[in-house]
Amino acid sequence: MHAASGTYTTISASVRTELEIERSRFICVLARATDEDAARAVIAEVRAAEPKAGHHCTAFLIGPRGELARSSDDGEPSGTAGQPMLEALRGEGLSDVVAVVARYFGGVLLGTGGLVRAYTASVQESARAATRVTRSLRTTVEVHAGYERGPSLEAELRRLGHTPLHVEYGEGMRIDVGVPPSATDAFVARVAELTGGAALAVIGGTVHVDDPA
């Protein structure tokens, strides 16, 4: 994560990996989650998909600086699963992610150190298999234009690398764009130039958005 610069790293899509350690199976699902409800939903899905697992240990980090952090050992000895999984996510520099490790006991006791290593390795395996995405801080700008200019303006903005966050059709067109905060004034001036002053640009708040691949 690079929260100081307004950027951080997440994953583009869910991954599932499996490790076998001393005959125990550790199935890890790593998924993207932008809030706690989404993380809890992923946890519930994995529990439903792996109902016979002895443990469903979890960890999630949410926010540009991983401000929201939760973990659960789900019956494993305290501190041997959830917290190591959380530290593995931090070590991989990820946020807006949830990890769920379903463990099927293989008959061999791993001990506390062995469990810590196994749960850590399971999350690391999934993190390294995932495709990463950088999210950057952007100022939202609502561009309002009539239908005679809106479609060509949208096409030109896309050509310039300003992929709309949202396009809405009503009495005219509303095109929401995310702009680097330092470039907001220049963007507004560019819209005015492209439309001969016919479009209205309204500066909004800031959001984090996925950088183009």
pLDDT at 213: 72
Alpha helices (H) along 67-166 = 82-91, 111-129, 150-159
What is the DSSP secondary-structure string of 155-193?
A: HHHHHTT---SEEEESSSEEEEEEE-GGGHHHHHHHHHH
**pLDDT per residue over 13-60, tens digit each?**
999 999 999 999 999 999 999 999 999 999 999 999 999 999 999 999
- Amino acid 127 reads A
Give the span between the Cα atoms of 164 and 126, in whole angstroms: 31
| Confidence (pTM) | 0.85
Looking at residue 50, what DSSP letter applies?
S
Residue 40: which residues within 8 A CB-CB, separation 6 or more?
A: none
Domains of the chain in sequence order:
3-130 (3.30.230.30), 135-210 (3.30.70.240)
Checking if the pLDDT of 117 tops 60, the result is yes
Cβ 9 vs Cβ 72: under 8 Å: no
pLDDT at 1: 53
pLDDT at 212: 80
Q: Could you tell me which of 18, 17, 21 has the C-alpha nearest to residue 109? A: 21
